[in-house]
Structure 1
Amino acid sequence: MSDVRFLPIDPDRLAAMRSAGGDEFGNPWTPFDAEGREPLRCCLRGSGAGERIALITYSPWTAPSPWMEAGPVFVHADACAGYATTGRYPPAFLDGRRMINPFDHHGVRAYDHITFVGPGEDHEAAVRAVLAQPSVAFAHVRSASAGCLMFEARPVGSP
């Protein structure tokens, strides 16, 4: 059993956006056909060519915070199965450079524990090492090149 959860975008938040016809920042929900290279944050895998997807603005924060970062992410245009193996680092996101962006128990960035990993390195072990720090409550795993959110990582049992 895993002690870490690797979390996609909350499907309930996505359902609300789809129903509203736009993302939480007022951008219209505009489906288009995937080229087959887009990283999907709803199910934590790469898209297949021709899949209906949408590009939205998303922030993992659910309450105002000075640390709130929002950016573009790809999701399925319609509801999908999500990411079922939340105890495992998403295999589709092992190929790039990632920044593990940790936050403390008050939601403040834990600068001392920011970690970068690249292709060929053990991404899952790096996330686990960051989350093992007593001062770290959770982390956002981001693209190190584009800065966009890939997914959130939290210890099992944390909110």
Structure 2
Amino acid sequence: MEIQYTAIPVERLEAMREEGKDEFGNKWQLRVAEGWEPLRCCLRKASQDEDIALICYSPWDSASPWMEAGPVFVHYEACAGYSATDQYPASHLRSKAILNPFDHTGARAYDHITFLGNEDDHEAALKDVLSQPEVAFVHVRSQEAGCFHFLATSRDGSAGR
């Protein structure tokens, strides 16, 4: 199974930057990175002194009772995004994560929620969850903070949002 890893879409971020606020009305404000912040636009950690913003983000692009929104860091100015969409983001391979799966109707697939520790094989666990017939896509989230990391879908059509 080939998996597609998707960061926050560049188009949505650009629209927020142009508006000067996130999709929830919070002002787009410049912050200077300390160097630990996980950037959800390009799926890497910020370097010290990089210009970043803290925004409220939901991976849902339409209304849903399952919609979860929360704070995430992104580059203040546009960046190239995450281009290695066929590779599990390296900065997340050894983290505490939650695989939050959804079915083909967009409802949470509770039976397949998976909690991962630093030592777990994140790629294998994600392949296992996405291989379940009822699972269409997975929101990978931080187990510690609960914030969104990235969207994972199958490239071969066995799952997909």
Q: TM-score, normalised by structure 2?
A: 0.95
Q: Structure 2 CA distance, aligned partners of 1:81 and 1:15?
A: 12
Deviations 1:49-103 (A, max 9, x none): 0000000000000110000000000000011111111111101012321000000
Match of 2:54?
55
Q: Structure 1 CA distance, aligned partners of 2:62 and 2:104?
A: 15
Q: Structure 1 CA distance, aligned partners of 2:105 and 2:150?
A: 20
Q: Structure 1 CA distance, aligned partners of 2:76 and 2:127?
A: 32
The sequence identity of aligned pairs, in percent, is 58
What SS does structure 2 have at the residue aligned with 1:80?
coil
Question: Partner amino acid for 1:103?
Answer: F
CA contact (8 A) 2:94 2:120 kept: no
Match of 1:154?
153
Alignment of 1:37 onto 2:6:
no
Match of 1:28?
27
Match of 2:134?
135
Deviations 1:91-118 (A, max 9, x none): 1012321000000000000000000111
Q: TM-score, normalised by structure 1?
A: 0.97
Cα RMSD, aligned residues only: 1.0
Alignment of 1:125 onto 2:145:
no
Residues 80-91 of structure 1 correspond to what in structure 2 (within 5 A)?
Answer: 80-91=79-90
What SS does structure 1 have at the residue aligned with 2:67?
coil
